[in-house]
Structures are given as structure tokens and as C-alpha cells.
Structure 1
Amino acid sequence: MTNISCGIDFGTSNSSIAVANNGNISLVPIEGTSVTIPSAIFYPYKENIPHYGKAAISMFFERKEGRFMRSLKRVLGTSVMKQGTIINGRPMKFEKIIAEFLINLKAKAESMAGQGIEHVVMGRPVHFVDNDPEADKRAEAELREVARSVGFAHIDFQFEPIAAAFAHEVKLSGEKLAIVVDLGGGTSDFTVIRLSNQYVHKTDRTSDILANTGVRIGGNDFDKDLSLAAVMPELGYKTTYGDKRLEVPLKPYFDLSEWSKINFLYTTKMVVQTRQMLFQSHDKTRFGRLLRVLEQESGHALLASVEDTKIALTEQAEYNASFDFIENSFSIQIKRKLFEDAIREEVEKISDSARQCVQEAGVKREDIDLVILTGGTTEVPLVQQEFKLLFPNAAIADENKLSSVGLGLAYDSQNKFGR
């Protein structure tokens, strides 16, 4: 047994780490005073030291030479994990890339604690990979091995929505029947759980957890839907070419709309094919923009602008999205309604998973006292509207959306590893 342990929320979009030290639970400042960090990494050309989070994003957008990566969590359990990738001309395994990101988190926590930390509870989605139990097991095993490789000797896992519940539980009075709605960048997870501040120190919560469900849909999928609906048509998506008026290949547009696939487009073959197709294009202005993005390798900048648009549309009914890095004065006026129409099918799948969770728990939607919203995707107005309709009698708790999972994992680590 130990007096010090930690919880790590390695998220698709953002990550956090919290320390449990002799009963004191606290989030660790990772970048300046921020207790969350974007799950991004940048390897500058001809340098051995990677940069993380906002610093990585800044270096990339300042057009520094090197390799930028984010949404690494999504490769766990997939065939891409085994393939590895090329970093500045050299092959590198994804295990090493993820390990370097976790080393940075661990070092910050150990610096704050003033000692080494060997005990960790890692957060995990209910399903790393949908409808594939073997891939799901493989993903957890891969993350466990990465955690071991960075120096954790004692590793346990907890579902992320359960961790979020633990973080909120300490502030409750009386028992509440809650559903945790954890909508991250890559997954949407749900837990129906009985909570009370009297249960905080219980080591076994099995009887309180009534059901878990999850689906591999998150904010990154909303980015993709918005990109394909509003932005890619302005880059020639679904335009035609040649005498037979064939539709241009769709794959580059889908890959440009997904964080984890953008880098795979930057090949000589792809650029040459796109140049050849431009000669036969029936919409050279729009299709020419696609070629420019590939030649300039500005796909991440493009998708970042889409993500900024998504965030802006949580507050505004309409937003003028600028893409002047592709073409001078190039912008697109995007309405929230277009965004909502684009994501409606995904929101329905998320809602179905929440309904399934309540059904598996053996309770009615009207019985839920508390809805705990966590994860940045819960900011989307259509999502909030959906969950208010689903649980009409429930109070809504939505503080610390980006850090509650990390905090709850540390509470769990204290119960599992502390004296």
C-alpha cells in the first residue's frame, strides 16, 4: 500500500492528471496554471525533444518544420497502432509517441508531489472500439503496457464516466440516482450510479454502479460532420471531372476531416494525382483549394478552423469562418442550423446509448435525480437540449467539464492504493 498515487485522464482532445497524497486530492497544473492540456504533440525537425499541448499546437501553426499529431487515443486497439508512423523521416511506434506524452504528465505530477509516483488509475472509455471486444481488450492492454513503460508499477483502470461521478460525489448531500454523460473528443460514455458523500471512501462500488454503456462518437466526429457539410464542398467535395463527369474521389475529403488521418494524405502520390485531376476538373477554383491544402500540408490548420467554428456556434447562431491560409479573403458563412443538421444522426446515436444505459440499469428516465455532464462536447446546444428532454426531472451538474474525470480517477486511486 502507498500514501501517494495518481489518476490520468488520457483524452482524445484533452488530458489531465491528479494526485492523491495522504488524503489530499488535487489536479496538477500541466501547462502554466492550466490543469488540462490538449492531447497534441509536435516533433520539431532535427530535434529529439517533443513539445506538448498548446505549445505543440502553436509551433505547428507558426509553420515550424516538423511533425504534428493529435487524437492519439483513437489509434489504440486499431491496426494503425501496429503500423506506426514516420516522424521527420524516421519510423516510430505509436507506443513510444503515447509514452512520451504520458511521461510529460507524470513528470509534472512528480514535481508537484516532490517524489516518484508508481501507482496510477488510468481512465478508459466504456468502449475503445465499438462492437469489437477483442480490439477493446487489446486497446486497454496497449495502454497498460505504455503506462508500465513510463515507470508505473501498479496500474488499474476505471471507466471515465464513473470517475466523473466520483469527482462530483464529494459535494452531494443525501443519496442521488445519477447518470453521467461523458462526451469527449472520441467517445460518448454513460453510467447510471447511486451517489452519496457517505460513499466516498467505499473501496467496492460494484453495488452502486447500475449500468454502463458507450459509443465511439465524440466531438471529433462533430468536427468531421461539420467539415463535410460546410467546408469540404468549397474544396471541391462532390464536384466532377473528365469527359464522363465522374465524381472526384471522396477519400481525401474524409481524411482531411479526421484528425488522426490527415498526415497520411501528405504523400507525393496523392499530390501528383490531385494535380492531374485538377486539369480535368469542372470546378477548378474549388478543387484547386484541395491541391493547395495538400501541397502546403495545411490539413490540420483547416480542421482546427472547423473546430473553432464548432465552438463559436455553441454561442452564436452564425459564424464567418476564415480560411485565408488557403486563399486570400477566403471565408465561409456557416449557420448553427447547418451544423445541427449535420450532427443530428450522431446525437441520436449518443441519445440511444444513454437510453440503453437507463434501461440496463432497470430504472426509468423520470427516476434520474442528477445528470452529470462532462467533456467539452456537452457544450453543444443540441446535445444539452437533448439531455434536458431525456431527463426532465433531473438537476444538471456541469462544472469542471474538462477536468472532472482526472480528479475522479485520483479519488479512485486513493481508494484502491491508499492506506
Structure 2
Amino acid sequence: MKQYLYGIDFGTTNSALAIFDEESREITHTIIIPSLIYFHQNVAEGHVVGEAAVAAYLSDNMKGRFIKSVKQVLSRSSFTETRIHNKRYNASDLVAIILKELKDRADQLTGQYCQKAVIGRPVFFDDDDVQKDTLAQTRLQKAAVLAGFTNIRFQFEPIGAAFAYEKSLVKKEKVLVADLGGGTTDFTYLVLDPEKANSNDRKSDMMANGGIYIGGDSFDSTFMWEKGTPYFGKNSKYEATPGKVLTVPVSLFANICSWEQMNFFNGLRIKKDIEDYYYFSGNDRKFKNLITLIDNNLGYSVFQSIEQMKIRLTEKNEASFRYHQSGIDIDENISLAEYENIISKDIERIANYLESFLQKNNIDPKDIDSLFLTGGTSMVSSIQSLFRKKFPHVKLNSGDNFKSVAKGLAYSGYLFEN
């Protein structure tokens, strides 16, 4: 009977699983799904995952419960559980739903019930905080067990990406790997050697790793704050007392700029506050948009519009931020220069971290033979420019931005030898 190992890249935006045949030492299939869960409005219909979650969400007229970017709550001690149809779900429960979907699809392809997996994790789940990092990995481990895995190892995601890249090399290289995902940006500096691709001892090849809690979701949140929230009443005025006109507190709008908060943005108290502000604003139309956004669970569709605009700006110098749903109308042209200015502080934080990473680990940029960028956020123009300016002598390489990590994790079977 064939023996298989699954390499699993559980991501903020997408999740992938690579099936590794341990006899032939080849990857036979790679599966990728959006990291999405949708709980139907009708509790009897249960939930769906991945591509089906979007279809069900739309067919239900966005009335059920839509969960996105659940990876970002793994390190949040403040998140203990959420209630969906009067059932409690903690972070591990939600992650397990996605992992089990991947496992079930893979098991159908292999015809086996595989319990062996190398699961990727960011270098830091939450900015070099040991306590939060431990909490996140513990929750991820529990989720893997709930999904049906019993033989589990963890590998840093950029190391997984590196092992995938190593398959394309013909000689030894010192490589800086940058894995830029939806939630984090991770760096690994290591020696890659095609002659050692199947070695069981790679510890000596890992020279440095680090990461920062900034990714594509950060860009989307920043953009939403600058360009989206004004359409939902961020600048609305209300009459607190007769003759005393104030601006609605901006703190209210932070909740619609972060998916991890929007997912659970359904408390009665905050809804009452919003309704009061709407009344005292004289029924401001833009503030009404905020009520519509929350009541109709439109957050995902708004952020999809932002994501589509971001993707178009990787190829063009201008794109539209366009959204028309349930009376909410947004149609604004955004230039590449304007977008880059909006996300410039996030880019600067990544650049500053990269500089400190190089200095801390005594890495001379001139010693780097190759750069390997992976992850969907690596395609953003400002990210490409950052690396070209920092390393003008080194060619930027990339693989499949959505499957590279999973494939490299599947090549990490040496972890089971320890």
C-alpha cells in the first residue's frame, strides 16, 4: 500500500494541500481552496467551505454567517469563541473545518485516510510575541487533530517555499525567501542545494528567519480606512444636543476595516449605538450605508471589490474601486500612485523590518545569490519595487504564488526522522 504525506499551507486568504507519495518521492496532486466558511441562514443546511462558501453566501442573499481570515484570530487571546446558530465555535473549531475540507478532498484522490501531515506556520503569528505565538500553534495543532491528523509536524512557511524553489536549482545558492501572504510577511535566509534536496538533515542550512504581522489584509484594511469608510459615514455629523454638532467617532469605523473584527461585529450594543448615530445625524445617507453593510452581511463583497482593484493595479496604472449593492454605491478611480501612497506606511514597516532582519543576522546583501518571493501579496507593485531597490544585483524569482509553500512543506518529510 502506498504511503502519503500531506503538506498543508493554511493561509489567511487561501489554503493549499500537496499530496506527496513517499515511495516515488513525488507530489501527485495539489489542492487549493479559499479559506472561507459559510454557515447557511437555515441551520439545517449546515456549512460549506472554499469556493462553495461564496456561492452559498450569494444565493442566500448574504443572510447567513460568513467567516474569512480566521487564521488571524489564532493568536488572539481575546477571541475565545463565537456563537453561530446557538452553537459555540472556538478558533480551533473554525480552522478544523477548513483543514478537514482539504483532507477529505485529498483522501478522495489517494483512496486512503491519511493522518500524516507537515503543516506550515508563519515565523511569527503576531510580531515576535512568544505567548501569542504559543497560543496560535497550540490552537493550530488542536485544529489538525480535530480534522483527523495524528502524526503532525510544523514547518515555517518560508522554508516550505524555499524547498519548492530548490527543485528548480542546478547549483548551491544562498537564498533570501520572502513569503508575503494575507496576514504576515516572513523571511528566511538559507543555503539551498539541489544535491541535498532529499536529505534528512537540513538544520545547518537554515541561517536566519523572522517575520512581521503585515500582509495583504493590512493593505486592504488601510485602503478601506482611507477610501472606503467615507462611504459609510466616517465623516458624518450628528447633533448630540440641540445646537451642538459633532463628528461621529472614528473609532466606530475601525470595526469595518478588519476582517477579524467584522466577522464578529454583531453585538446588540454596538448596533444600538449605530442606530442612534444615524438618527441624530438626520438620517445621513452614507451612515445608512453602514447599517446596510452590517445588517446584510456585505463585508466580504466590499473587500472583494478592494481585492479586485488591487489585482488590477498589479498590471495597470489605474483601476476602479467599484461597488453597487443594496443601495450602496461606490465608483472611484484609483491610480497606482495613489494606492501606493495609501499603503506606503505598511510598505515602510516591511522595509524597516527587512533592514533590521539583515542587520540582526549579519547578512550582507552582496552575499545573497538569489531572491525568492512567494505569496499573493508579492505581486503588489510596491513590494516588487522594494526588493528591486534593496537588492539591485539580484534577480527576483517566484514560483506558483499560491501553491509553492504547500509543495515545499510536502518535501519536508525529514522532520519525521527527528
- TM-score by length of structure 2 reads 0.92
Please tell me whether residue 43 in structure 1 is matched to residue 39 in structure 2.
Answer: yes
SS at match of 2:235: coil
Q: State the 1:352 CA deviation.
A: 2.1
| Separation in structure 1 between the aligned mates of residue 389 and residue 214 of structure 2, nearest angstrom | 20
Contact 1:179 1:192 in 2 (8 A): yes
Q: Secondary structure at the match of 1:309?
A: helix
Superposition CA RMSD, Å: 2.1
Residues 170 and 43 (structure 1 numbering): CA distance in 2 closer, same or farther, change over 3 Å?
Answer: same
Corresponding position: 1:78 with 2:84: no
Q: 1:235 to 1:328 in 2, by over 3 A?
A: closer
C-alpha contact 2:62 2:297 (8 A) present in aligned 1: no
Contact 1:4 1:117 (8 Å CA) reproduced: yes
Could you tell me which amino acid in structure 2 is paired with residue 313 of structure 1?
Answer: L
Contact 1:119/1:417 (CA < 8 Å) preserved in 2?
no
Query: 2:388 corresponds to which residue?
Result: 388
2: CA distance between counterparts of 1:173 and 1:304? 40
Counterpart selection for 1:129 from 119, 126, 131:
126
Greater CA drift, 323-332 or 220-229? 323-332
**1:256 matched to 2:253:** no
Deviation at residue 88 of structure 1 after TM alignment: 2.5
**What per-residue deviation string (whole Å, max 9, x for no partner) do you get for residues 118-148 of structure 1?**
2111100000111320110111111112212
Correspondence for 2:357: 357
1:181 aligns with 2:178: yes
Shift of 1:200: 0.5
Q: How does 1:5-404 map to 2 (within 5 A)?
A: 5-21=5-21, 22-26=23-27, 28-29=29-30, 35-44=31-40, 45-47=42-44, 49-62=46-59, 63=61, 65-81=63-79, 83-242=80-239, 243-281=243-281, 284-327=284-327, 330-404=330-404
Distance 2:101 2:26 in 1: 20
**Count of residue correspondences:** 411
**Distance between the aligned counterparts of 2:196 and 2:175, measured in 1?**
14
- Letter of the 1:51 partner, please give it: V
Distance 1:211 1:283, change over 3 A: farther
Shift of residue 27 of structure 1?
6.0
Give TM-score, length-normalised by structure 1: 0.92
Compute the displacement of 1:308 (Å): 1.8
SS at match of 1:331: strand
Q: For the residues of structure 2 that align with 1:65 and 1:28, how far apart are their CA atoms?
A: 35
Deviates more, 1:289-298 or 1:157-166: 289-298
What is the CA–CA distance in structure 2 between the aligned matches of 1:162 and 1:38, rounded to whole Å? 22
2-structure distance, mates of 1:141, 1:264: 22
CA contact (8 A) 1:255 1:262 kept: yes
Tell me, yes or no, if the aligned pair for 1:235 and 1:289 is still in contact at 8 Å. yes
Cα shift at 1:379: 0.8
| Structure 2 CA distance for aligned equivalents of residues 259 and 369 of structure 1 | 38
Alpha carbons of structure 1 residues 27 and 133: separation in structure 2 relative to 1, 3 Å: farther
- Shift of the alpha carbon at 1:296? 2.2
CA contact (8 A) 2:174 2:190 kept: yes
Q: Does 1:412 align with 2:408?
A: no
| Partner-residue secondary structure (3-state), 1:185 | coil
Alpha carbons of 1:28 and 1:87: their partners in 2 closer, same or farther (altered >3 Å)?
farther
Offset at 1:381? 0.4
Asked if the contact 2:231/2:330 (under 8 Å) is kept, the reply is no
> In the alignment, is the contact (CA less than 8 A) between 1:67 and 1:88 conserved in 2?
no
Q: Report the secondary structure of 1:310's partner residue.
A: helix
Distance 1:221 1:182, change over 3 A: same
1:32 aligned partner: none
Q: 1:95 to 1:282 in 2, by over 3 A?
A: same
1:28 touches 1:108 (CA, 8 Å); kept in 2? no
CA contact (8 A) 1:271 1:295 kept: no
Give the match's secondary structure for 1:42: strand
Matched residues in 2 for 1:181 and 1:246: separation?
Answer: 45
Residue deviations 1:219-275, cap 9 Å, x none? 000000111111111222133322443331223421111111113323443333222
Aligned residues of 1:230 and 1:334 also touching (Cα < 8 A): no
Q: Secondary structure at the match of 1:17?
A: strand
Give 1:113 shift.
1.8
Gaps of 5+ in 2: none
Letter in 2 for 1:87: I
What is the identity, as a one-letter code, of the residue corresponding to 1:233? Answer: P
State the AA in 2 paired with 1:363.
I
Identity of aligned residues (%): 32
1:167-202: CA deviations, max 9, x gaps? Answer: 010110111111101000000000011111012012
